Structures are given as C-alpha cells and as structure tokens.
Amino acid sequence: MRPSVIVVNWNAGPALLDCLVIARADATETILVDNASSDDSTAAARARYPDVRAIDTGANLGFAAGANRGAQAARGDVLVFLNPDARAEPGAIGKLVQALATTPGAGIAGGGLVDAAGRWQPGAARFHPVAHLLLDTTPGRLATRGRSAPHVVDWVYGTFMAVRRDAFRQLGGFDESYFLYGEDLDLCHRAAAVGLRTIHVPNARAIHGANVSAAQRFGLGREAAVVEGEMRFYARRGQLGLFRTVAACKFGTKAALAAALGRWQTAAACARVTRACLTGGSAE
C-alpha cells in the first residue's frame, strides 16, 4: 500500500525540517499543508526539499481542516498524518502501514510515541469519559506500556496516525469544527460506529517534540485546550456532564497538590483546565 504523508504546519520552526527527513524517505509522496505560518518554516522546507508538495491554505484553519486539504490532494492508498514536531523513526511509516494492511477490519492505525530522550509517551486512549480520565494516566497505562505488537484500541492520537484512504473518504475526513484537539478522538469514534477497527502499533515509533505550534498558540492553556476539544466530543454524545464533573475533580485535585508542592506552573495549568471544565463545553 502506498502511503502519502501529510504534515500540517503552523510556525513549527526548525522542527519541520527534521520531521520531513524521514517522511520523504519512507513515503510515496509528502504533502506539506501550511496554515499561514509567519516564521518562514514552510519557505525553508520548500527550499531544502523541492520534492515536497506544498499547499498554502492562506489562513490558520486548524489541524482538522488543514489535514483534510492535504488528504484531498493525496494520491496514496494510506494517509499518514504526522505532526510537524514529530519525527518518524526510519521504517516506522512502513511498519504502521503494514500493520494497517494486515489487521482484519482495521481502518486507522496509530504509532508509538517517545520524547527526545526516548521516554515513552501515550499514543492511544479510551472512549468512555470516566475510563479516559481515570485510567488513561501514567499508572493506568502501566500494563500496556510494554506491549510491542499491534493491538486494537478505542482511539489513537493524531500525532502519528495512518488512515486507509477509502475509510477516510467514507468517514468524510476529520470534523472541521474541531480546530485542534478532539478531532482524532472523533474520527476513531465514527470509524468504530461503522465497524472499522483502530489499532495501536507501538513499534512504529515517532519521536515527539515539545508541541511547538500548540505551545505558541496556547501557552499554559494547552492542556485546557485539549480538554475543551474533548468536551466538544462528549457534549455531542450526551456525556458532557459526567466528563465535566470527573475532569473538574481530577484537575482541581492536581492543581491543589501542585500548589502545595510549590510547582506553580503545573498548578496554574491544572487550574486553567479546571476552569475550562466548569465554564466551557459546547457541541457547536
């Protein structure tokens, strides 16, 4: 199966060049969607890699809309979405695509993630709001951290995600009402509703950086933005009240503990999440 790698960029800086190195080597084509970056990162990528197909959206459309633009232009059998602050390891794209092709009923596959020091990062999660909030945590994931074989999960992170092109079209692509965060959860949930399985492929690894674009846009509010995207998802499914209650208790407790330990930045970030849980949440 021929993979098309799609990278949506907004001010990712030098990380974008690193992202494209392996993507170009392991994919049939690489498509760079630029969401009106102002840091010359896309210009630098074009200059260094003239074989990359570049699409200028003319505005910061968000990840979901930008990814859809890239998917519309792609020619491959599999669409591989890779964050500009992530760098797939050599051969990882092939492993992800192979697992997707050989797993019966699979429509979506997510790769394993590590940080720059090689430390494990989460790449998959659960649908149910309580299970997601209480079990998709460091202790709750201990049992699965050692897995290396592809396995079925509820949903995978869009950081490094492969979707069969026919499945992506069947689902209508990402829901563009999600600007950033929640669109991967939503896509996998809609896939499950039509009988498509989502798998996690831990040995198809990408090195994930420090959320360059999101950190610029949201700062300490990044975690709050993540939760707001999830609240949109749960609001549409009649589970917002449950999610809001559990999330507010969870992050309120984390904020209080962080403050007691003098970890003021963590406390401030968790406090923002708590406020978002209490005041936000919309299906629109």
* pLDDT tens digits, one per residue of 149-201: 999 999 999 999 999 999 999 999 999 999 989 999 999 999 999 999 999 99
- The span from the first CA to the last CA of the chain, in angstroms, equals 37
Range list for CATH 3.90.550.10 in the chain? 3-210
Percentage of the residues of the chain whose pLDDT score is greater than 70: 94
The pLDDT score that the predictor gives to residue 138 is 86
CATH number for domain 3-210, candidates 3.90.550.10, 3.40.50.170, 3.40.50.150, 3.40.50.1980: 3.90.550.10
Query: Does the pLDDT of residue 125 top 60, yes or no?
Result: yes
Question: Distances in Å between the alpha carbon of 125 and those of 6, 112, 153, 277?
Answer: 23, 12, 7, 19
Q: At 217, is the pLDDT very low, low, confident or very high (cuts 50, 70, 90)?
A: low
How far apart CA 32 and CA 8 sit, in angstroms, is 6
Residue partners of 142: CB distance under 8 A and separation at least 6: none
Q: Are 69 and 9 in contact (CB under 8 A)?
A: no
